[in-house]
Structure 1
Amino acid sequence: MKIALIAHDRKKDDLIQFTTAYEQILSQHTLYATGTTGQRIIDGTDLKVIRFQSGPLGGDQQIGAMIAQNEMDMVIFFRDPLTAQPHEPDVTALIRLCDVYSIPLATNMGTAEVLLKGLEHGFIDWRLLGERRG
C-alpha cells in the first residue's frame, strides 16, 4: 500500500513518535511525506520515505494529485487544529479528495493507530481490488 504521512509543525514530534512505534508495519509499505516531515521520519527511523515539497510549497497538492489518480491508499495527517495554517485551502482540498475517493484518512494519533492496526489485519485490502495502478 502507498501511505502518505503529513504533520503540521506542532504535530511533527507526535508523528515521529507514531512512526517509531509502528515502524514494523510501516516498513512493509511505500511511504510518502511532505518535505520536512519526511526528513524527520528518515532521520528518526529506518523507514524509507519518498519526499515531496513541504505542505505550503505544494506538497499537499502533490499528494492530492496522487489521490485523484488512485495512486494513494491511505493518508495519515496529524493536523494542528488550534493553529491557523497559511495553506489551509490546500489542507481542506486534500481532506475533501480523501472523502471523494474513499481514501482512509487519519487526522490524529488515535485514528491513525486504528487504521494501521486495520491495515495489519487486512481490513484495508479492499483498496487492492479492481482496476489499479499500472
Structure 2
Amino acid sequence: MLAFEIWKNGKKLAVTGLTEGGAMSLMLTWVGKGAGASSRIADGVEIEGLDLRVGGIDSADPASEQSVEWIEDTALRLDDDIRIRIIATEAVDAPVRREPTTGLASAATGMRFTPCATCGAPRLQTAAAPAE
C-alpha cells in the first residue's frame, strides 16, 4: 500500500497508510501572533504556533468514515529536519487517534468525505436528491 514514512532529526516518527480508500495529509503550519512574531523565534527554543500534523480520513467503510491521526508534534525548533519518504509497504503504524467523522459528514445526512481526484484532499460530497 502507499505510505508516508515521517522522520524528525533522524528519528522515524511513523509510517502512515490506509489499507483501503481514504485521504492522508501532512501539514506543517506556523501561526505567528503579534508584531514581530517571526523575529522572536530563538535558537534551541520550541517555536510557538508551529506544528506538524499527519492524519486523514479512513474510508474503508463509507457508512462510518473515521478521522485518523498519526502525528501531532508541536515541539519544533530551528534547524529541525523533517523528512517525508513516499513508500510502498505491507505494514503501517496504527493511528494514535481514530474517531468517527461527525458534523455534516454522516450516513444520516447523506454527506461524506471523499478524496479529491486531483489532489487527494478530503472533499465533502452530498448524496443525490431523491427523484420525485
Category of TM-score, reference length = shorter chain? under 0.3
Q: Which has the larger radius of gyration?
A: 2
TM-score, normalised to structure 1's length?
0.21
Structure number with the higher helix fraction is 1
